[in-house]
Structure formats: structure tokens, C-alpha cells
Amino acid sequence: MRWWWWDVINPKDEHARSVLTLSVLLLSVVWYVTMVRKCHKGRSRSPPGPPGLPLLGNLLSLNPDLHIHFAELSRRYGPIFKLQLGNKLAVVVSSPSLAKEVLRDHDMVFANHDVPAVGRLISYGGCNIVSSPHGPMWRMLRRVCVQEMLSKASIDAVYALRRREVRGTVGRLYGNAGMPVLVGEEMFSMVMNVITSMLWGGTLEGEERSGVGAEFQKVVGEITELLGKPNVSDLFPVLAPLDLQGMERKMKGLFLRFDGIFQSIIDRRLRMNREDEEGKCCSSKGSKDFLQFLLKIKEEGDAETPLTMAHLKALLMDMVVGGTETTSNTLEWAMAHMINKPDTMRKARDELDAVVGTDSIVEESHVPKLHYLGAVMKEVLRLHPALPLLVPHCPSLTCTVGGYTVPKGARVFVNVWAIHRDPLTWANPSEFDPERFITATNKWDYGGSDFRYFPFGSGRRICAGIPMADRMVMYALASLLHSFEWRLPDGGELNLSEKFGMVLKKAEPLIAVPTPRLSGPEFYLE
């Protein structure tokens, strides 16, 4: 028996794989009897879908590129279909109207996410926004993020920290001008430095700050990979205590590394605050970062739903893990498409020269005037939404979607990748064409109100970090395009194919050569 997804995760653990195979065979009869009983209980109309094997369901027939595989199945079975994944029933919707039913019409029913076992581990037992069930705690966390930490005033307050890291990347690229660079790695490093600087930039400085960023950079990729892998513990809950793939064990190790760093930074900031109050130190005077905001909120407290230290750390984890790969991959995709279409890059650069000039540097205040570059970003997110299937939802009640019954506890995927490529909505849907957002009469914003285009989700679970993501991508992209010409290395080829995961990545990393285009070195200094 072949387990393609097991081979990817743990190809050497033959003993554990044998235990799983034996368990599957022993449980098959139980599964069959249970399914027969369910069929005789009622006459609910279940979504169509491919036939599966006893107990395993459709696991062995899944294609690793799930977003493409689901799009192909929707062409065969319709815009809503089901898959049996072990003991878990999955329902996939792939049309704007059905996405609207799930994310707006039945918003309360689908207000919870289907959180994997490793996701609960890395989120301090579900203390973050993504994992928390809908209720008072989730509302408190959402309020802290949207109204306090990610409000316009808070984001404005940490602009100096954001600017420092973007200018640092521009300077580093200038020092290696004419040499091929791995664009994705550069973008990841920059975004990681930007995020950690905004989180606690007033607490750590210099080499210590860089060292913490480098440590996080090593493990974020491992965390997002684990979050995107199928786990036997989720598919067969009865086997969860065995942790047959060792995924929970590995995630716990990564969690402890992060938590140790978080705790040391928090302790440092609390000590600095005490010293400031006693007049012994002025090192943090005037410094502003998100950690300072969060500690202030925690100290002020809320009698009914207080922000605990676990919540605070979980929010830091959200920012570090959730904001790095999504943002850096979007930047890499944007650079790849513009290198592939020189006319698009020329138009974006002409706009930058008109707004910024060639004798100055890009500031974030320029971004609202960069309409064509904004269209480039929207087109990148149309073709390559950061989370192609969003975060799976889990209905709290059995309900009807598209005339079919979706049972309580199912895992519901919204294939936003397929919706963004629907030829009924988009002309030449596979073509990269930012002009479609310039000439369109529709606003096509990120608010999630139009279910033909919602790269950040919709409803009450829409991404809380949209304002920050918009600013970071646009400011960084504008700075890179304004400061450098970009080309492929001699003999280089551009591959625009995708690699599915929790975050949608380029299958092959982009390698490009930056050449300075501004008149003097002073435009490349921090």
C-alpha cells in the first residue's frame, strides 16, 4: 500500500508506516459499518464526489497540488463536491455564489476554522486569531489586532522601523550589484527583518536584532511546511496519541525554540520599562513597537476576556509565521511576472519616476499614488493568492450549501485559486495582465465583498493583516523597482509554475540580477 503524502513527510520510518497500515486494515470494517448506518439514518442530499476506498476514502487518489486537483474535480463533479479523507469529510466549493453562501450567508455557522493538531501546538493551544473558536476570546483578539496593533495609527507609528529594514535591503543589494541573487531569499530576509523590527524593534538593536531574525528565518519554513502536510492524527483521530509521523513532536520542538526567544524579548522589554519608570535608563524612551502596544493592553486588562501572556505570544507568533512567507512569496511572484513581461515593468517604473523622481528615494507616502503598481499587486494576488484554499472552515451546525447538506464538523475548503481563474469572470484568466484592474469599472478591492475576487478571504474570518500586507508589499516592491533594473542571469530561464502548500510558492526560486539605476550611492544608503 502506497502513502504518497507519508513518503514526503517521513520516508524512513518503516515501522510507523507498518503500524498505520495494520491499523487501517483493522479499522476498515468499523468504518464500513458506521457508513452503512449513517446512510440509513436519513435522506440528506450529500454533495457529489469521486468514490473512495473503505476507511481511506479518497486519500490515495489525491494529487499533491491540491488547488489544481480540486479545480479539476470541480469541472467533473460541479462547484461543490465532497472527498472522504480518512475519517474526515472534506467539502470543496469553487464558485463565487457558493463561496458567498459559506463566508457570508452562513457566516456564523462557518465562523470556526478546522485547526490541525500541529496548528494547535504552535498557537499556544489555540490562543491566536486563526485557531480560536468564534466567541468572546476570538473577538478580544480580533479587536486587539484590528483596533490596536494593526490600526492606521499603530502602523504609522512603526514606519521608521519598517523603512530602516527596506532601506537596509536596498543597500545590501547595491553592495552586490551585478551579481545574481535568490530573490525569494532576499525578500524573505527583508520581510522577516521588517516584521521582527516592528514587533520589538525598540527592544533589540544591532547584531542582537539580526541574530533573532536569522534564528526565526531558519524555522519559519519548517513550521509552515508542517502546517500544510496531511497528518494521520487529523485524518484518523483514534491514532492521534501515537503521533505516527512525529509531526507533533517536531512542531513542539520548533514551538519551544520560538517561545524561548519570545520570553527573553518580553523579559528584556519589561526590565527596560521598569528601569525607565525608575529613571535609571532612557534606552527605550520614545521607542514604539507592537510589543509595547501589547504589553500596555495586557497591563490595562479586560475583566471579562483579559489578554494573557499566552495570547500575547500567540499574536507575536501569528505575525512572524503568518506574515513572512505570505508577503515574501507575493513579492517574489510580482518580480517574476514583471521580469517575464518587460513592458509591465517599464510601465511600473515610469509611474515611479513620475511620482518619486530619479533624484529621490521611495517613501511610503508615495504608495497611494502608485495606481499601476497597485494593479500589479492585485493581479499577482489574483493569479497566486497566498493561501490558495484559504484556511479550512468547520461548520458548527449541519447546514445546506448549494442545495447539498454539509454536516457539522466537516472540513470546508474554499478554492479561491480556482475562483480567481474562472473564465466566466476573467478574460484570459491564466494571463498576467494588470491592465484588467486599470480599465475595470469594478473596484476589485481586498474587502471580501465581491466573491469573484477575495485573496484575503471574507466574512468575520477575513485576514486581519490586510492593511499591513498592503503597505509592506507595495512599499518594498516600489523600492526595489525604483532603485534597480532587474534581469535574468545570462542563460537563465524563467519558470512560473507553482508549488502547493499552506502558502503558494514558486516551484523554482527566482534568480535575478539587480543593476543600480539611480544617479549616486547616496540613494542606496539607509
pLDDT in tens, 371-423: 999 999 999 999 999 999 999 999 999 999 999 999 999 999 999 999 999 99
Q: Residue 27: its pLDDT value, please? A: 60
* 53 DSSP assignment: B
Q: What is the mean pLDDT of residues 255-270?
A: 92
Alpha-carbon distance 517 to 511, whole Å? 19
Please state the φ and ψ torsions of residue 80, each to the nearest 5 degrees.
-135, 130
Alpha-carbon distance 498 to 506, whole Å? 5
Q: Residue 34: its pLDDT value, please? A: 56
Task: Quote the distance between the C-alpha of residue 456 and its chain's center.
Answer: 9
How far from 401 is each of 104, 305, 456, CA to CA, in Å? 12, 34, 22
Alpha helices in 42-130 (DSSP H): 66-77, 96-100, 117-122
Whether the per-residue pLDDT at 36 is higher than 70: the answer is no
Q: Residue 222: its pLDDT value, please? A: 86
Q: Which CATH number applies to 4-524?
A: 1.10.630.10
Going from N- to C-terminal start, the domains of the chain cover 4-524
Q: Residue 43: its pLDDT value, please? A: 55
Q: Residue 1: its pLDDT value, please? A: 42
Q: Residue 8: its pLDDT value, please? A: 46
Q: Residue 167: its pLDDT value, please? A: 94
* 101 DSSP assignment: I
Angle subtended at Cα 234 by Cα 232 and Cα 240, rounded to the nearest 5 degrees:
65
Whether the per-residue pLDDT at 427 is higher than 70: the answer is yes
How far from 198 is each of 161, 263, 485, CA to CA, in Å? 6, 17, 29
Q: Dihedral of the CA atoms 334, 339, 342, 347 (nearest 10)?
A: 30
Q: Residue 322: its pLDDT value, please? A: 87
Whether the per-residue pLDDT at 6 is higher than 70: the answer is no
pLDDT in tens, 451-495: 999 999 999 999 999 999 999 999 999 999 999 999 999 988 899
- Whether pTM > 0.85 for this model: the answer is yes
**Cell 466549493 belongs to which residue?**
93
Q: Residue 389: its pLDDT value, please? A: 96
Whether the per-residue pLDDT at 20 is higher than 90: the answer is no
Q: Residue 24: its pLDDT value, please? A: 58
Please state the φ and ψ torsions of residue 131, each to the nearest 5 degrees.
-90, -25
Which segment of 94-98, 243-247, 290-294 scores lowest on mean pLDDT?
290-294
Q: How far apart are the first and last CA of the chain?
A: 57
Q: Residue 217: its pLDDT value, please? A: 76
Which segment of 157-171, 288-302, 456-470 scores lowest on mean pLDDT?
288-302
Whether the per-residue pLDDT at 192 is higher than 70: the answer is yes
Whether the per-residue pLDDT at 7 is higher than 70: the answer is no
Whether the per-residue pLDDT at 176 is higher than 80: the answer is yes
Share of the chain above pLDDT 70, in %: 88
